[in-house]
Amino acid sequence: QQQVKQSPQSLIVQKGGISIINCAYENTAFDYFPWYQQFPGKGPALLIAIRPDVSEKKEGRFTISFNKSAKQFSLHIMDSQPGDSATYFCAAAGANNLFFGTGTRLTVIP
Amino acid sequence: DVKVTQSSRYLVKRTGEKVFLECVQDMDHENMFWYRQDPGLGLRLIYFSYDVKMKEKGDIPEGYSVSREKKERFSLILESASTNQTSMYLCASSFFHRGQGVGYTFGSGTRLTVV
């Protein structure tokens, strides 16, 4: 059973546009929600993370929106750039483990 | 720069071989993990360890075992490699903060092909 559901599977955005990736979870014990960015041939790298006591976290062009009651969170990439083209994974952490979504392949067209 | 280092980037092994994937971290993290990554399935947890000589099964442990003799090193073992174990294998480590695993750092991965 997939602990974290992620959509869309792939996303194509024009340069300068907004990229939005959505995730949902069921386990209310999750207490940490990171997003990872993965370039081809590399391991995932932490991009931004949020705890459920806040509804939004922004770091540069990247924003996490968190809706605790709906058990949903999303990543917004503002002013998307070709260098943002990568696979993005949302995740949710329990006490010891990190559960991943299935990934979104983002392509930003120049 | 803190690192998780996986010993091999690419491996090709024959069906039935015993395969060892090695991972070393230099961050003094308590927790270490092995994931496999397959298209459309994301990252799935195989095994993890929260202390030396401790191990816990993840979501897909069948066909795998692990060893953690030292804090910095976590090995994944394929006892008898099969073609369905062809995948990208990722090692990660993390530490505890406020009782929560955080600071997950990944290695660059080992792409294993079993022929």
For chain B positions 31-70, those within 8 Å of chain A (CB to CB) are 31, 33, 35, 40-45, 48, 50, 56, 58
B45:A9 CB<8 A: no
Tell me whether residue B22 is exposed, middle or buried, using C-beta atoms within 10 angstroms of its C-beta: 0 to 12, 13 to 18, 19 or more. middle
At B98 the pLDDT is 63
Mutation site, A6, A102, A105, interface B, largest B CB count within 10 A: A102
**Is residue A95 over pLDDT 80?**
no
Q: What is the mean pLDDT of residues B18-40?
A: 93
pLDDT in tens, B45-99: 999 998 898 999 998 999 999 999 999 999 999 999 999 999 999 999 988 766 6
Please provide the average confidence, as pLDDT, over all residues in chain A: 93
Give the whole-angstrom CA distance, residue A58 versus residue A66: 11
Mutation site, A32, A48, A97, A99, interface B, largest B CB count within 10 A: A97
Ramachandran angles phi, psi of A26, nearest 5°: -115, -35
Give the whole-angstrom CA distance, residue B90 versus residue B57: 16
* Chain A nearest CA to B99, separation (Å): 7
